[in-house]
């Protein structure tokens, strides 16, 4: 999560999040160029004692500052549309996990292997120890394998929730009576923290998400332990 004087993205743990960060840098460079160019022209015209009467009716100048922003928008739009379609792409997933939002906790189902179901509640402040993250840790982590293409189905049993994992670049709404899906691929082992990102009631801030990414052989052992 963000810490003091570190207002930036979390470290990317998926190929999609890496591309989103590259696109952010790409867009910011273009925006900086646009801002500096406009400020230069603005100050140059404000503090210029000479008045150019040709600027009152200059067709070539009008054409130039109409076409140039168009090309700038194209340079931003093309990678943006490309990423938008990549986010919705489901590329032959090896397994499917279902996440269901409740007021106010998440439940998960692993139906590809066995009928594995469990609820994931935030650890209360009375049970938090020195190694826990307050308001982020849960009693049952979501265990997922490394370097595996997965599909996540998201729904809700009551009101609209939102399943969000910033380090993976994923955010998907959980809507009652509807199944939404996204693809997930995790590149690094570790713990990843997210939260519900749709105001869903009094305890909206108290339904975190924790993903524990482990190698495939350990994941199979975890599945067989049920």
Q: What is the pLDDT of residue 53?
A: 59
Query: Angle 15-46/59-88 helices, nearest 10 degrees?
Result: 160
| Residue 102 CB neighbours (<10 A) | 18
pTM of the model: 0.79
- pLDDT for 85-109, tens place per residue? 888 878 788 899 999 999 999 999 9
Q: What is the pLDDT of residue 86?
A: 83
pLDDT over 90 at 161, yes or no: yes
Domains in the chain, CATH or no CATH each: 15-88 (no CATH), 95-224 (2.60.40.420)
pLDDT over 90 at 45, yes or no: no
* Residue 66 Cα to chain centre, angstroms: 34
Would you give the DSSP letter of residue 11? P
Distance CA 226, CA 214 (A): 17
Q: Is 188 helix (H, G, I), strand (E, B) or coil?
A: coil
* Residue 13 Cα to chain centre, angstroms: 11
- pLDDT for 173-216, tens place per residue? 999 999 999 999 999 998 999 999 989 889 898 999 999 999 99
Contact 79, 26 (CB under 8 A): yes
């Amino acid at each position: 999560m963000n810490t003091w004087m570190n207002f930036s993205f979390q470290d990317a743990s998926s190929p999609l999040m890496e591309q989103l960060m590259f696109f952010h840098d790409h867009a910011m460079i273009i925006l900086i160029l646009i801002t500096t160019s406009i400020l230069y022209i603005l100050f140059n015209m404000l503090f210029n004692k000479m008045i150019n009467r040709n600027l009152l009716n200059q067709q070539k100048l009008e054409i130039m500052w109409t076409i140039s922003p168009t090309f700038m928008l194209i340079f931003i739009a093309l990678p943006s549309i490309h990423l938008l379609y990549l986010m919705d792409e489901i590329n032959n997933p090896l397994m499917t996990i279902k996440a269901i939002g409740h007021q106010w906790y998440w439940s998960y189902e692993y139906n590809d292997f066995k009928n594995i179901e469990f609820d994931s509640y935030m650890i209360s402040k009375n049970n938090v120890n020195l190694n826990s993250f307050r308001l982020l840790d849960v009693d049952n982590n979501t265990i997922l394998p490394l370097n595996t293409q997965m599909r996540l189905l998201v729904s809700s049993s009551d009101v609209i929730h939102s399943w969000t994992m910033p380090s993976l670049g994923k955010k998907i709404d959980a809507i009652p009576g509807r199944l939404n899906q996204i693809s997930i691929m995790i590149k690094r082992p570790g713990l990843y923290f997210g939260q519900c990102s749709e105001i869903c009631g009094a305890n909206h801030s108290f339904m975190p998400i924790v993903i524990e990414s482990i190698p495939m052989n350990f994941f199979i052992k975890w599945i067989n332990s049920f």
